[in-house]
Amino acid sequence: MVIIEMLQQSIAASPLFFNLLEKTLLATLPALGFGMMFNVPPQTLKYCAMGAASGYGARFLLLHWGLDIEWASLFAAMMIGAMGVFWSQQTLSHPKVFTVAAVIPMIPGVYGFKAMIALVEINRSGYTPELWAGTLDNLIHACFIIAALAVGLAMPGLLIYRHKPVV
Amino acid sequence: MEMKEVIVFEKNEQREITRLVAEAGYLLLHNGVESKVVSDIAHRIGRVLGIENVEIALTASAVIITTRLQGQCLTTIRQCTSHVINMRIVSEVQQICIAAERGELDIAGVHQRLAGIDPPRYNNWLVVVMIGIACAAFCRLAGGTAEICGLTFLASSIGMIVRQTLVRNTFNALITFGVTAFITSLISGLGLMFQMGDNAFLAMASSVLMLVPGFPLINSVSDMLKGYVTMGISRWTTATLLTLVTSMGIVGAMQILGVWGVWL
């Protein structure tokens, strides 16, 4: 919730273009960091960064134009998936090798943690409708966004590469 | 140990190919790629080396492979109880498969290439700094001020050092995640304790984002989508448990710092 609110506030506060530029550049950093943690081949690190920048930027614009975050995530991940197919045919690596690192900036980690922390709190201090509502809200939100991201990444395989491998 | 046995049976081609397929499947499953890719590449390696039919069953802790050649079936199981993420190994197995399909590698060549897979990792300190920067970038994306981002960088970098140390000493993944989350939150929670501005909470929220199990989550949904429902469920369970222990680490740190309730 915090992230969305902050996002909305910053959209209202500053001109769109510079905001977009800042977000896309910032989104490359987690992709590079996680890419290194996943030990992606060095020659594909640039694809992690480019995928993350364009995907995050696309989602930012779609959110700005009023789309729901689930649909925005789906379309952004579809874009990354499509670019991943193109790059994978050049590098002869499966697209998942670098597209997962590219969607990392869009994964709703804070929702997931909030849901689990609310669960721990229910165990500690007992059930209240607010805590349970917090758990469910955050959990469902996280699930839908993750599903959207994963389905989006898989989309080229589901639509076009149904019977032949990508590489 | 494995390789010695393979050499003894070199005359028995089907057995050799089955072992190679199992080895490739094991490497792919162990290094964290989705089930469809494990199954596809294992199939392709078996077929290109001359096997009529390859059937693969995946479970969370083993790869089961049956090959058929001239009416003879051979079944083998490779255990795979631990899962890591190493995309360079996945990429190399894929390239071996492609090279074999182009006719550049025969059975012995595939054997040699598979046995020789040992790619380098990125320098640990480089990863520490990059993960610190990554979490600081998350913090900035959420609207954190410069000093909050700095605190996030510090907390995540130290957390990453802890995580690498625990991984190097082969601790259980759940313990690694819980302890890392605890120490990271202890440091990033200092911002709230000393009231470093309105959005000091963002340091706590962003610094633990390095522990989000993104790969198991994405793989889980992909697996369920592509018909590997049990693999998807097991990956989802793994990811849920990792998130739960991370949260317990965060809660422990919050109780010690006395900043209880900011996450709710």
Give me the percent of chain B exceeding a pLDDT of 90.
Answer: 84
Q: Please check whether residue A167 lies inside any domain of the structure.
A: no
Helices B35-48 and B214-225 pack at an angle, to 10 degrees, of 70
**Per-residue model confidence as pLDDT tens digits over B93-138:** 999 999 999 999 999 999 999 999 999 999 999 999 999 999 999 9
Show residues of chain A in contact with B211, CB under 8 Å: 109
Contact B37 A100 (CB under 8 A): no
Count of helix runs (H) and strand runs (E) in chain A: 7, 0
**Quick check: A133 contacting B, CB < 8 Å?**
no
Contact A107 B263 (CB under 8 A): no
**Quick check: A38 contacting B, CB < 8 Å?**
yes
**pLDDT value for B260:** 76
**Per-residue model confidence as pLDDT tens digits over A36-52:** 999 999 999 999 999 99
Given B134, B220, B247, which is nearest A116 (Cβ)? B247
Task: Give the residue-averaged pLDDT of A120-146.
Answer: 94
Is the pLDDT at A155 greater than 90? The verdict is yes
Q: Who has greater pLDDT, B6 or A85? A: A85
Is the pLDDT at A14 greater than 70? The verdict is no
Show residues of chain A in contact with B34, CB under 8 Å: 96
**pLDDT value for B6:** 46
Domain of A83 in residue numbering reads as: 17-156
Show residues of chain A in contact with B91, CB under 8 Å: 40-41, 44, 91, 93-94, 97
Is the pLDDT at B8 greater than 60? The verdict is no
Contact A150 B37 (CB under 8 A): no
A155/chain B closest Cα distance in angstroms: 10
Is the pLDDT at A118 greater than 60? The verdict is yes
User: How many angstroms separate the CA atoms of B20 and B23, rounded?
Assistant: 5
Task: Give the residue-averaged pLDDT of B55-83.
Answer: 92
Contact B264 A134 (CB under 8 A): yes
Quote the DSSP letter at residue A100. Answer: H
**Per-residue model confidence as pLDDT tens digits over B156-200:** 999 999 999 999 999 999 999 999 999 999 999 998 888 888 888
Interface ipTM > 0.85: yes
**Quick check: A107 contacting B, CB < 8 Å?**
yes
Contact A118 B264 (CB under 8 A): yes
User: How many angstroms separate the CA atoms of B94 and B31, rounded?
Assistant: 13
Show residues of chain B in contact with A155, CB under 8 Å: none
Q: Please check whether residue A97 lies inside any domain of the structure.
A: yes
Q: Please check whether residue A121 lies inside any domain of the structure.
A: yes
List the 40-79 stretch of A: residues with Cβ below 8 A of B.
40-41, 44
Q: Please check whether residue A137 lies inside any domain of the structure.
A: yes
B74 CB contacts (<8 Å, ≥6 apart)? Answer: B14, B15, B18, B66, B67
Tell me the count of A-B CB pairs closer than 8 A: 180
B137/chain A closest Cα distance in angstroms: 6
Q: How far is CA B91 from CA B31, B37, B38, B113, in A?
A: 10, 11, 12, 13
Given B37, B126, B209, which is nearest A96 (Cβ)? B37
DSSP structure string for chain B:
-HHHHHHHTTT-HHHHHHHHHHHHHHHHHHTT--HHHHHHHHHHHHHHTT-SEEEEEEETTEEEEEEEETTEEEEEEEE-------HHHHHHHHHHHHHHHTTS--HHHHHHHHHT--PPPPPHHHHHHHHHHHHHHHHHHTT--HHHHHHHHHHHHHHHHHHHHHHHTT--HHHHHHHHHHHHHHHHTHHHHTT-STTTHHHHHHHGGGG--HHHHHHHHHHHHTT-HHHHHHHHHHHHHHHHHHHHHHHHHHHHHT-TTTT-
B218/chain A closest Cα distance in angstroms: 5
**pLDDT value for B264:** 77
Residue of B nearest to A44 (CA): B88
Number of domains comprising chain A: 1
**At B165, phi and psi to the nearest 5?**
-65, -45
**pLDDT value for B2:** 53
**At B20, phi and psi to the nearest 5?**
-65, -45
Contact A33 B134 (CB under 8 A): yes
C-alpha Rg value of chain A to the nearest Å? 17
Quote the DSSP letter at residue A128. Answer: -
User: How many angstroms separate the CA atoms of B206 and A8, rounded?
Assistant: 18
Mutation target to probe the A interface, by most A beta carbons within 10 A, among B247, B254, B262 is B247
